[in-house]
Amino acid sequence: MKRNLFFHLKAYFGFSRRESKGFILVIPALVILYSIPSLYDWSLQKHSIHLYEHYENKLDSLLQNGWEISEYVGVQSLIQQDSSNKKRNLPASRTAVLNKLDFNEADSIVLQIVPGIGQTMAGRIVKFRDNMGGLHDREQLLDVYGMNPELMERVFEYFTFRPGIQEKININHMEVSDLARHPYISYGAAKVIVAYREQHGPYKSPEDLLEIKIFNENWLERLRPYLVF
């Protein structure tokens, strides 16, 4: 069979035996390359189904706990009838209207229900929020790479914002790697902060950081709410 294949390749395409061998070796690679788009589409479809099931489970959980969903980020049309049916079975005293979810508790999957926020952006938002230790102003979200005012407003159409800082920076005890995790402190800035502290002693106030010439008032004002001494 192999000889027949070589014969046909030579007869129809003028391939030498060496060229025929090369052609045969290339065929599996071509098949794999041809299959990649189909496999990618299958993977995306599977991921979308997983997300849908995740959202559906969250909604069912809320409904079972006695909430009437009047608005839930673009998917209300999918659950409107189910919500109405379940609402009839709920005692009037337990019926409430849930318009928005808590931004501080949203994970990267839930954030993707906002139009315009995909997996990458949702991951950036959660990482930024958690590394900050909490947000005291919703406009801090504009510091996330790729965020713009329109998208930020869209986020808070679907999520409530509760200002609050849960974790602060102990500037006199944290080391370089710990300081550099904060989005407002680069690794280079963290090294300078620690070096200055070791040379001049503990910082006593936020203004002491301005003795380091690479820092300015604008930077300090952004960082000030997170500092403890």
pLDDT tens per residue across all 229 residues of the chain: 545 655 555 555 565 767 666 666 777 777 787 778 777 767 766 766 666 666 666 666 655 655 444 444 444 433 344 444 444 444 444 434 446 889 999 999 999 999 999 999 999 999 999 999 999 999 999 999 999 999 999 999 999 999 999 999 999 999 999 999 999 999 999 999 999 999 999 999 999 999 999 999 999 999 999 999 9
Straight-line distance from the first to the last Cα atom of the chain, in angstroms, rounded to the nearest whole number: 82
Domain closes at, from 55, 82, 98 = 98
CA distance 123 to 134: 16
Same domain, 94 and 14: yes
Same domain, 92 and 139: no
Q: How many domains does the chain have?
A: 3
Same domain, 12 and 94: yes
Domain that holds residue 190: 169-228
Same domain, 117 and 193: no
Q: What is the CATH number of the domain that holds 179?
A: 1.10.150.280
Same domain, 22 and 80: yes
Same domain, 92 and 39: yes
Domain closes at, from 70, 98, 126 = 98
